[in-house]
Amino acid sequence: MTSTPHPVIRPRRLRSTPAMRRLAGETRLHAADLVLPLFVREGISAPMPIASMPGVVQHSLDSVRGAIADAAAAGIGGVMLFGVPEVRDARGSGATDPDGILNVATRLVREEAGDALLVQTDLCLDEFTDHGHCGVLDADGRVDNDATLERYRAMALEQARAGSQLLGLSGMMDGQTAAVRAVLDDAGFEDVALLAYSAKYASAFYGPFREAVDSQLQGDRRTYQLDPGNRREGLREALLDIEEGADIVMVKPAGSYLDVLADVAAASDVPVWAYQVSGEYAMVEAAAAHGWLDRQRTVIETVRGIRRAGADAVLTYWATELAGWLKDGVE
């Protein structure tokens, strides 16, 4: 009778204790690699809950101060600001008004954050237009790429004047990175960095975000956001943005596009970020509320998966809370 030999190679040795797992770990989470998206709404005096995103609110100008203080204390890397105006029009005029909600909030947040956080702003028209699209419409109701670039240039200047340190170009117009870089440089804002939302897909996972910004969108954005079935196109868009001067490139959403994220990370010579979007957040929160998932473990696992795929930083609505867990030593 021949005995079965004992295995010589035992990978489980590297999983035997928490200390061993920490030393053998390939992907680590750090608070400084997290960015918190924040919504600031015009005309409210107290934070307003977002029903489809439990735990997330539309902030008032007063309540956002507390969120900034908490984020800074947690040690996260930065915040991304979105403005929710009271009045909208076809051109998104509030986006370029120095007294518009996003620009006012940016000045306030820069003052509140000091050097503790990188203050970032969303540069897109969808929150400000009465049709909900990310650009100016032509006579046939289509998004006019080049007319939209003129609006983006004006937005960039106002956001830079308000103190934004990083502009998030999320509109998916052709040539937007080059257009914004040129106008900033000509105006003396060479040090304002650009985050290009390069591989931004036309995703169903944005649903709760539409509630968060009170979107007026009718129809969809498939003529400018990427087809969810296209992988090579995501990499192509990222490489184009890098050529145009992007300081950082983005893949959005994160969880369903980890292959695209890995492709971009392998090819990029600038940092690559990913956005864990509202629908990803809402699904975990809903499942956890029913007791179907361990909330804390699921949050950590999803963000770690995004980092493992190649993201240098992650925009996530759990940023401040997750940073607190990391500080407490939660694996």
In this predicted model, what pLDDT tens digit does every residue of 244-276 receive, in sequence order? 999 999 999 999 999 999 999 999 999 999 999
107, amino acid identity = R
Q: What is the dihedral of CA 235, 194, 43, 143, to 10 degrees?
A: -50
Active site residue 252: yes
* Phi (first) and psi of residue 57, to 5 degrees: -130, 160
Mean pLDDT across the chain: 96
Place of tokens 């292959």: 259
What integer pLDDT is reported at residue 93 of this predicted model? 97
pLDDT digits (tens, 9 = 90+) for 107-123: 999 999 999 999 999 99
Active site residue 327: no
What is the spatial distance between Cα 106 and Cα 104, in angstroms, rounded to a whole number? 5
Picking from 221, 129, 245, 225, the residue whose alpha carbon sits closest to that of residue 172 is 225
* DSSP 8-state assignment for residue 116: S
Distances (CA, A) of 90 to 87, 148, 161, 222: 11, 11, 24, 19
Active-site position among 41, 88, 252, 307: 252
Band (pLDDT 50/70/90 cuts) for residue 288 is very high
Distances (CA, A) of 117 to 58, 68, 71, 166: 20, 8, 8, 11
What is the spatial distance between Cα 130 and Cα 124, in angstroms, rounded to a whole number? 13
Produce one character per residue of 227-261: b if its CB has 16 or more CB atoms within 10 Å, e if not. eeeeeeebbebbbbbbebbbbbbbbbbbbebbebb
pLDDT digits (tens, 9 = 90+) for 3-17: 778 899 999 999 999
Three-state DSSP at 253 gives coil
What is the spatial distance between Cα 330 and Cα 40, in angstroms, rounded to a whole number? 31
What tokens appear for 21 in the block? 């797992």
Band (pLDDT 50/70/90 cuts) for residue 330 is confident
Which range, of 142-151, 188-197, 203-212, 311-320, averages the lowest pLDDT?
A: 203-212
Long-range contacts, 288-295 (Cβ 8 Å, 24+) = 289/54
Domain-wise residue ranges, the chain: 29-327
What tokens appear for 271 in the block? 């940092």
The H or E element containing residue 199 is: strand 193-200
pLDDT digits (tens, 9 = 90+) for 49-71: 999 999 999 999 999 999 999 99
Q: How many CA atoms lie within 13 A of 166 on its CB side?
A: 21
Q: Is the pLDDT of residue 218 over 80?
A: no
Superfamily of chain region 29-327: Aldolase class I (3.20.20.70)
pTM for the whole thing? 0.95
Picking from 167, 326, 139, 130, the residue whose alpha carbon sits closest to that of residue 241 is 167
Q: Is the pLDDT of residue 192 over 70?
A: yes
Active-site position among 59, 131, 151, 200: 200
What integer pLDDT is reported at residue 47 of this predicted model? 97
Produce one character per residue of 269-285: b if its CB has 16 or more CB atoms within 10 Å, e if not. ebebbbbbbbbbbbbbb
Q: Is the pLDDT of residue 1 over 80?
A: no
What is the spatial distance between Cα 277 and Cα 60, in angstroms, rounded to a whole number? 22
What integer pLDDT is reported at residue 17 of this predicted model? 95
